[in-house]
Amino acid sequence: MLVRRSLLLAGAATLAAPAIVRAQQARSYILATATIGGTYYPVGVALATLTKVRLQGAKGIDMSAISSAGSGENIRLLRENQAQFAILQGLFGLYARDGSGPIQADGPQRNVRSICGLWGNVEHVVIRRTFVRTGTFDDIMNLRGRRFSMSARNSGTEHSNRFIFANYGIDPSTFELVYLGFGPSVEALLAGQIDGANPGGGVPVAAITQLFARAANDFQILEFTDEQAKKADGGTGLYVPFTIPANSYPNQPNPIRTIVQPNFLACNANVPDDDVYEITKAIFENLPFLHGIHAATREIKLETALDGMVNPVHPGAARYYAEKGITIPERLRAA
């Protein structure tokens, strides 16, 4: 009887062994996004869904998207390994690299690796036409002493504005600063309560669409010359030139030259190379799948995947780029 029971237990263990191996091989990752109402969360859900559909069964790689407070919190979640992947604003990637800005107290985040650019935060510096002289960013100085909206306090847009102003040698106190979100900024412009704002985001930005639909003749989006774009970037490689196509907004017949920083997919340096390789490959080889989930993913392109990146590329992603003939700049190579 004892022998029979031992054999039964041994048989059960043998049958269970493959399941145990599979469980050990399966990897489940968390992707941190932002608040549910923005673009980060639905794009994160799209990326997690793609991973589940294409890689969970075939490679044992699973991913779940979670909402968060945005880029600042996502850096902490990566550091504490509460998330292994995250969507970050390019500027916060720079803060993470240098240990600067709002995370200065935490120091450089050596664990942050980039995978690819997702969609761009396009600068839309809009001012009242009364103050337009050249039509370029130099005209921002014509608002000295006037009210300018920096967007909501502690938002990515406020940090972006301060970053550009600092690189341009502009003291923000030159203006009378107000802190309004995109929609309220447009209402304040229309009501004559402020004279400028910069609701940056993916084209088209709904707030700019609303503004131009109602009063395009009264406002203008300032352009950046190549020299101005270089100056605004401050030598970081974060911002690159971008052209807003004609007719992106109501009553906008001509293209507008401006600058853009990326929102990008980041991960922890300790995520296995093979897994990051498979996820990177799944993204670029299933773009139509992503397009069907969220329109912002239409900006993901292999040829521009590294534009504006400042954090080292994860070796797993670098392997995929090498297969596609894309050279990783020396500044983006992981040590």
As a whole-number percent, the residues of the chain with pLDDT over 90 amount to 77
Greater pLDDT, 25 or 296 = 296
Q: pLDDT confidence of 156, banded at 50, 70, 90?
A: confident
- Which amino acid type is present at position 231? K
Closest by Cα among 152, 131, 149, 124 to 208? 124
Is residue 206 over pLDDT 90? no
Domains and CATH numbers, the chain: 27-118+262-332 (3.40.190.10), 124-223 (3.40.190.10)
| Residue that has been written with the tokens 């970050």 in this structure | 88
Closest by Cα among 61, 35, 64 to 47? 64
Query: How many angstroms separate the CA atoms of 312 and 314, rounded?
Result: 6
Q: Both tokens of residue 314? A: 């994860």
Q: DSSP readout, 311-329? A: SPBPHHHHHHHHHTTPPPP
Is residue 188 over pLDDT 90? yes
Specify the range with the lowest mean pLDDT, choosing from 162-171, 184-193, 294-303, 322-331: 294-303
192: left (phi over 0), alpha (psi -120 to 50) or beta: left
| Residue that has been written with the tokens 């880029």 in this structure | 71
For the whole model, what pTM was predicted?
0.81
Q: Find all residues with CB under 8 Å of 232, minimum gap 6, and list them.
A: 137, 164, 167, 168, 224, 239, 259
